Structure 1
């Protein structure tokens, strides 16, 4: 009985404390104005159907949140596919770089071949221009007036004399010495010849390009006219010296034979090979 009384006394004290705390809390709610908010319809308890619907939605959301295991696999697959794509891109970049390097090598080889072939084309075109330019031929024929075949003939005589001396000392080698002598003479003649070779018809044509009227001779006035046409700066004294140098009969004029001798002395006259 005594124990029951003690429990009743304790419960009553506990209830007293609880009631006092409830009163204090209510007083605070009234002071803060929160009792009206608690009575508002927004904070009322919803129906059990809505609560169940919310629980179902939460369970569905939780199930969807547990999907990351599959998504993790997909991420792995995506990462592996991305790495494979990166490797393919790297492979394509390497192949493209290799193809570019090969293309550059081919271009360099082609450019080297073209540079090797260009000098022959340039020399051929230059020769064609020189052959076609009649004014340049005339200028060369007149400016090289003092050139003669004396050095060439002297060289030929020296070589022939040396060969004859050697042949006298060694009579068994006469045939070989004669062959060498003829070959050397041919080489010397080829060296003495100009690249521009004119036939008889070309000589006559060039002569009448100076003598346009058809007088049969070239006067100092004709030379002066050709000099101005071809932009040569020749004084009157130089022109008179040219006329006197090649005038065979001393009449102050150059006829066709004098003009032919000029071409032959310049080694520009074409010879018929035997």
Structure 2
């Protein structure tokens, strides 16, 4: 029978057996596939994630590079910062995508399905991670064509890629939470754009000891600098010091904080719809 209850010969009604709730892996995979499909359709976001950092790399290398390092070696210094800037540009679209989901009515449809809140966010994050890793690979290829000459061996390259992927994961989770916190798509875009200035206040483009003393303190104690210095050290053989531990710690803290914040925001906002 297709009714909600089953009537036995005694006349007693008993509830029909409820359908099983899909596992977390099934719902998460479904949301990842959905977000990846959206990514494939939104080629503009991928192109911009590649073009904008590439333009900045050309600008800093050929316009400002000779003034900063007349020997022409500036490209080797600036590329690690450009890589993180590329990740930031690409991940910023996640805030817009999440905010769009929260305002276009799709969440109301998800509420009628046996979906876990975190699955929707994870779908956006994984799709953004895949898109940004591809964009980063292209940017590194362009940098090599411009004269970037890393000294890293295979293991150091693997470690550098791991740090880059971890940073992309962290910043994407943060942007996903920002997309939930924003009241609309325009606000999410604005908040996301503001974070893109953080690499400029780090060692991405100039050494921190060339900055004013008050700005030097900010640059040396914000998350981006140890992550950049870790990537730079792995690729170019500069002294790593304690930067890898700070980089891993900052990324773990951002992921954990954004995960908790994003899950709480998603649950609260979904209940309002």
TM range (shorter): under 0.3
Q: Which has the higher Rg, Structure 1 or Structure 2?
A: 1
Higher RCO, 1 vs 2 (CA within 8 Å, ≥6 residues apart): 2
